[in-house]
Amino acid sequence: MLKVGLTGGIGCGKSTAVRRFRELGAPVIEADLVAREVVAVGQPALQEIVECFGSHALQADGALDRAWLRQTVFSDPVRLQQLESILHPRIRAEILARIAACTDSAYVIVDVPLLFEKGYTQLFERILVIDCLPDQQVLRVRQRDGSDGSVIASIMQSQIGREARLQQAHDIISNTASITDFYEKIDDLNFKYIKLSNA
């Protein structure tokens, strides 16, 4: 089974690509979803976060207070490192377990927004980057969730640069034209991955 890591900058169309791959019958594992599940109430990671950050890290209902935690680690590299050392080994292990469970498929797509930034490249045989122009990224994120231009810019700066992302990709889908064009490129890649898997 071929293991494909899917990534791309904010607003490039990762979610749309994921939806299309699902429609084509490919199993998709979403790292963001896994990240939420490993810190659910009753999970060891949540307990460890509380031990490390104190009870401020919890909401009144016992769930993780993401906003507080984000604020706490945002400008403190040491705290961020502590949080990541709790989360990333668990996220990685869970992703690997879910990949191993996809035995009936020619290939599996793993959607990892920070694939390069967090060192996930070695988990995959192919890296697929969804790409568009920086101006399009800003416009799409604005339309999607009304974010302020400066907020979008700071998110884009926190991600690996576009050139570096494209240089490390095995496959690139340019999402600069119509949705029909985008879907056709994904459909072509679906056939390519099935072929590669069979080979």
- 66-74 and 44-53 helices, crossing angle to 10°: 50
Each residue's pLDDT expressed in tens, for the chain with a length of 199 residues: 999 999 998 888 999 999 999 999 999 999 999 999 999 999 999 999 999 999 999 999 999 998 898 888 877 889 989 999 999 999 999 999 999 999 899 999 999 988 998 889 999 999 999 999 888 888 888 888 777 777 777 777 777 888 999 999 999 999 999 999 999 999 999 999 999 998 8
Per-residue pLDDT tens over the stretch 7-58:
998 888 999 999 999 999 999 999 999 999 999 999 999 999 999 999 999 9
Known binding-site residues for ATP equal: 11-16
Contact in structure between 134 and 156 (CB atoms under 8 Å): yes
Known binding-site residues equal: 11-16
Contact in structure between 129 and 172 (CB atoms under 8 Å): yes
Which among 71, 73, 49 has a CA at the least distance from the CA of 62?
49
Numbered ranges of CATH 3.40.50.300 in the chain: 1-27+107-199
Task: Give me the CATH topology for the region 1-27+107-199.
Answer: Rossmann fold (3.40.50)
Q: How many CA atoms lie within 13 A of 173 on its CB side?
A: 28
Helix H or strand E segment including 30: strand 28-30
Handedness of CA 64, 70, 71, 74 (dihedral sign): positive
> pTM value?
0.88
